Amino acid sequence: MSDLILLLLTADMAALLLLGALAAVVPPAAGPVLTAGLGGLGALLCVPLVLPGAAGATLDVSAGPPGLHLHLALGPLPAFFLLLALFSGTAIALFQKAAAPRRDLVRATSLCLAGAILSLLAADGVTLLLGATLVCAMLVRDRQSARARATLLVPLLLLAAVCLLTPTGFPPRFDAIRAAPVGDVPAGAAAALTVAGVSLMLCPRVPGRDWVRQALVAGAVLPVGLYLLIRLVADLSAPAVQTGWGVVLLAAGGWITLRGAWRAASEADITAAVAALVRRQAGLMVIGVGLALTARATDLPQAQSLALEATMLLALGTSLAGTAAVLAVEAMASSTGTVHPARLGGLAQTMPRTAAVLAACLLGVAALPPGVGFAALWLLFQALLAGPRTGGLIDQVPPALAATVIALSAAIATAAAVRLVGVAVLGRPRTPQGAGAREILGIGQIILATMAALSLVAGIIPAVTLRYLADAAVREVSGSTQGVRSDMMMLAASPASPGYAALPVLALLVLATGCAILVVRWLRREAKPAGLWFDGMTPPAGFPFGEPMAQSAGTGFLPSLPALPALPRLRLPPRPRLAAVTPVAALWLLLAAFGALLLILAIMGGGA
């Protein structure tokens, strides 16, 4: 059955590629439906592979000249990330149907999903290069910044990492790497290239109102980047990589998560703040992989499994809650005409369902129970506590600093999420556009509600979620049956240790909220014939929002933290300006690169 599923996923990827290539001739209304159908079909195909006891499959696809094959492999680990990426891509495509359908958005979504499938199914360096190129090309489309151009180096960095891991005389295939591991120096260099490339992929800078790319980053690109980090560093490089690379990942992840949390609290518009919260989650995932690598190097399977399970739960929560938060913010921005929290407000009255979705999704990416983000943080700390306790004081500094950074970023991110909800959702409308905001209708509202509900369910029963979705993937990497010991309600690191149960916390929150509502209703005085935002006074003629002098100008809603100082830029000497590349020159350049790739494969021993 796994062979058939892999074949169907390959056909699904080819159909998405064809749809992206023909997006200019596909009717705008039909493009999102076709993309959603193909993405949903692929997500359904991945469900049997993530369940415990699923078997893997391999497939060789002939492409190009004789002797060149694309090697594909499907197992529980890629199936888990494929499920996340394709489900989120389906939601994004259906949300495009609810908004104004555009051909360029259909092309970006379909090609990004095709690249994600190819990257996650890749079993050799060439296939990985092609898939990562598609994903990165969609990230930097129509952008001219230096950081965007640097993102295009990600596929080359990943290919170089795979080639360094490949033993001499073998093709750059994952099975050859597992059969004959290389030494410490090539494995360390490959790990360095992988960390550099994945960091560029996990933390792209997306323009503020480009909501499709922001949603694709949260729902599809982050799962792909995390999978590549796990596959190339924690799986293929792990037998030869030293413990120090776990510390490097802890440092890189700590910087990403702390910077993301700080930017979320210092951004002046709501879209950038949500994108920063998503990047913070990416940093936590890198920390989880670093903890798993350190635990494997010190022969601690329990700590390795806990770190991987925390990483999987973070990926699941970010894919659901992060994507839905981006879509909810886009719905609010389209209805109110602004993304600045100081000009929003009162959306709990004008857009109650969308406001509830945003609050639930921010709960999922913050560190508040019973959100899925809190459960993942709890598992991360359990992995830290189960880590190695050997060595001197210097050896214990990285885990202690990692715990400090995780706690600090959690506090800042929670404050940023509370600020967004309090300023943008609660209160009273501050502009006529905000007072006239209307809910998104139809399929868009269903998509938002479904993703928010799934995020809440994953946070309430994280143990069941891990058991049925991530257990097989964790075992594929760690090779151990140790990990979370749980039942339906309780999440625990071991049978003897205390655990975390989200349902009692949820019951206490519901009880406290209900008591507060009852007290407010009991103390409510006799109502006056005036609007809630008029402070009990009849508004003057011509001033529907009351006396202008009594209205807040929004200065009190400025970010709570200052912006991070920009790093000094190295001034390079001016470069000679080259002429624009013509299509003919670009074609010759592509053919030359393909010929160089064939030459490398021939030197390394062929590709079949």
For 188-245, write each residue's pLDDT tens digit: 888 889 999 988 888 777 665 788 889 999 999 999 999 999 999 888 877 666 667 8
The SS3 of residue 94 is helix
3-class SS shares of the chain: helix, strand, coil, % to 5: 70, 5, 30
- Binning pLDDT at 50, 70 and 90, where does residue 572 land? very low
Identify whether 569 is part of a domain.
Answer: no
Return the higher-pLDDT residue of 298 and 319. 319
Among candidate residues 241, 258, 281, the one where a domain is terminated? 241
Report pLDDT for 256: 93
User: How far is Cα of residue 133 from the mean position of the Cα atoms in its chain?
Assistant: 18
213 shares a domain with 334? no
- Binning pLDDT at 50, 70 and 90, where does residue 482 land? low
268 shares a domain with 406? yes
Rounded to whole angstroms, the Cα distance separating 410 from 408 reads 5
Return the higher-pLDDT residue of 229 and 137. 229
Asked if the model's pLDDT at residue 63 lies above 80, the reply is: no
Identify whether 367 is part of a domain.
Answer: yes
Exposure b/e, 244-280, CB count within 10 A at least 16 = b: ebbbbbbbbbbebbbbbbbbbbbbebbbbbbbbbbbb
Stretch 478-499: mean pLDDT, rounded? 69
Asked if the model's pLDDT at residue 299 lies above 90, the reply is: no
134 shares a domain with 220? yes
The domain of 186 spans 1-241
For 391: left if phi > 0, alpha if psi spans -120 to 50, otherwise beta; the answer is left
225 shares a domain with 272? no
Among candidate residues 224, 241, 258, the one where a domain is terminated? 241
266 shares a domain with 126? no
Report pLDDT for 55: 81
User: How far is Cα of residue 382 from the mean position of the Cα atoms in its chain?
Assistant: 22
The answer to whether 448 and 353 are in contact (CB under 8 A) is: yes
Identify whether 547 is part of a domain.
Answer: no
Report pLDDT for 203: 78
163 shares a domain with 29? yes
Outline where 22-64 has alpha helix (H).
30-50
Report pLDDT for 591: 62
Asked if the model's pLDDT at residue 424 lies above 50, the reply is: yes
Lowest-pLDDT range of 3-7, 101-105, 415-419, 426-430? 426-430
Identify whether 564 is part of a domain.
Answer: no
362 shares a domain with 315? yes
Asked if the model's pLDDT at residue 606 lies above 50, the reply is: no
120 shares a domain with 181? yes
Report pLDDT for 167: 86
pLDDT in tens, 425-469: 887 777 777 778 888 878 889 999 999 999 999 999 888 888 889
Among candidate residues 214, 241, 268, the one where a domain is terminated? 241
259 shares a domain with 119? no
Return the higher-pLDDT residue of 569 and 89. 89
pLDDT in tens, 405-416: 999 999 999 999
Lowest-pLDDT range of 16-20, 480-484, 489-493? 480-484
What's the mean per-residue pLDDT of the chain?
82
452 shares a domain with 331? yes
237 shares a domain with 185? yes
Identify whether 596 is part of a domain.
Answer: no
Rounded to whole angstroms, the Cα distance separating 460 from 486 reads 13
Give the total number of structural domains in the chain. 2
Report pLDDT for 570: 46
304 shares a domain with 233? no
Return the higher-pLDDT residue of 531 and 445. 445
What percentage of the chain exceeds 90 in pLDDT? 33
